[in-house]
Amino acid sequence: METTVKNIVTIGASAGGIVAITKLLSTVDKDLNAALFVVIHISKKSRTDVILTQLQKYTAFKCVIPKDGEDILNQIVYLAPSDCHMMVKRGKILIRKGALENHWRPSIDVLFRSAAAAYGCNVTGIVLTGLLDDGTSGMSAIKKSGGTCIVQDPVEADFPDMPRNVLQNVAVDYNVPIADMGYILSDLLSRGDSDVYDTPTDVLLENEITMRMNNNFGDLVNKQLKGVEESLWVAIRMMEERKNLLNSMSDQNEEAKEMADQMITHIARLKKMLQEIGKKS
């Protein structure tokens, strides 16, 4: 097993996700040059150790539930613990109990966004079966950062909402059945990796806000300021969901497209405000 991390693969799934991820892992070559990070939407009372045992049956990679501050190692499958966000920075894993995002903790978007900010074009994001639209914002961050976006064909997915929402909002690179994903990963990651991480400013800002909300949530000296931060963050996430819905309607409705564009402007303003509040905290 190699220890130097060259590539990051982020995988997100919700309803029907355990079966889908076991299928995906069974297609991954044992020599794949990457670390794999998995977020499954599960209740906070779920036994992640049982899920981990299930995943381990389908891969030669070692499957672990990481601890906060753990080093990232190559050819490991990292499964997010229940009721905590899993994020990455260069060489490290962060496990934090921050605010819910898209109604979930762990959130797919939180993981994907942090990976895009830290590893840029060396990130491959995969969204599988699931309800609603967690993963859409995170896949957008990966795409903007030069990474590769793969979604499960919605026709194949037990619950097609998540892959379909990504397709409606992001120009994905591959829309394929799970059976094809292992070959795609092997081909992509055999092309080498880059030492250049030219992540766009807006992705870095979004990740900076996410990190701060997860680092400082409940720790700010000024409780009123903390409340403002929390409310702004919730508003941003709700507006992101509304924007994604409007984008999905824009092909048939010009007014929906205009409203989605307006929402993007408002979201940017709120993020800027949240950034300024962070400088004072």
Query: Residue 45's pLDDT is what?
Result: 81
* Domain match, 168 and 237 both: no
- Tell me whether residue 113 is in a domain: yes
Q: Identify whether 198 is part of a domain.
A: no
Q: For the whole prediction, is pTM greater than 0.85? A: no
Could you tell me if 157 and 271 lie in one domain? no
70 within some domain: yes
Residue among 235, 216, 232, 205 at smallest CA distance from 96: 216
Which residues neighbour 234 within 8 Å (Cβ) at sequence distance 6 or greater? 99
Whether 222 and 173 share a structural domain: no
Active site residues: 14, 41, 134
Which whole number is the average pLDDT over 44-63? 93
**77: closest CA among 8, 17, 153?**
8
Domain assignment present for 64: yes
In a domain, 258, yes or no: yes
Q: Domain tally for the chain?
A: 2
pLDDT in tens, 178-195: 999 999 999 999 877 676
Residue that has been written with the tokens 């048939």 in this structure: 252
Query: What are the tens digits of pLDDT across the range 213-240?
Result: 776 444 444 555 666 777 777 787 788 8
Q: For position 87, which CATH number holds? A: 3.40.50.180
Same domain, 78 and 146: yes
